[in-house]
Amino acid sequence: AQSVSQHNHHVILSEAASLELGCNYSYGGTVNLFWYVQYPGQHLQLLLKYFSGDPLVKGIKGFEAEFIKSKFSFNLRKPSVQWSDTAEYFCAVRGTGNQFYFGTGTSLTVIP
């Protein structure tokens, strides 16, 4: 079965700092990869997704992620974070049978 690991459990940044959250998956075949965000008290929302094509994917709110097949990675990046980016971030992989498997999540706190 597919699995997803997120290395950073809790990240604290000052506003305007750059962000990179790690995500690695284990699966040798074709993958669909996703990043979701969960703002405090809200439900999960899709930030971006990768199905095929350009490995650099741009999402909403200035986020982007790069799919590196050789490293089984799909790291999330943002050049300059804002206080409003404080949230939980989840990486997910879609496996066979269309099930989605989530990483353990990264809690991001942005200090004004």
Interface positions with other proteins (CB under 8 A): 34, 36, 42-46, 49, 51, 90, 97-105, 107
| CA 101 – CA 109 distance, rounded (Å) | 24
Smaller CB distance to other proteins: residue 43 or 69? 43
CB of 26 to other proteins, least distance (A): 15
- Residue position matching structure tokens 């699995």: 3
109 bridge partner residues:
12
Count of alpha carbons within 13 Å of 100, Cβ hemisphere only? 12
Smaller CB distance to other proteins: residue 72 or 100? 100
CB of 46 to other proteins, least distance (A): 6
Smaller CB distance to other proteins: residue 15 or 39? 39
CB of 43 to other proteins, least distance (A): 4
CB of 93 to other proteins, least distance (A): 11
Smaller CB distance to other proteins: residue 1 or 28? 1
Residue 26 near residue 3, CB atoms below 8 Å:
yes
Residue 25 near residue 72, CB atoms below 8 Å:
yes
The per-type count for the chain, helices as H runs and strands as E runs, is 0, 12
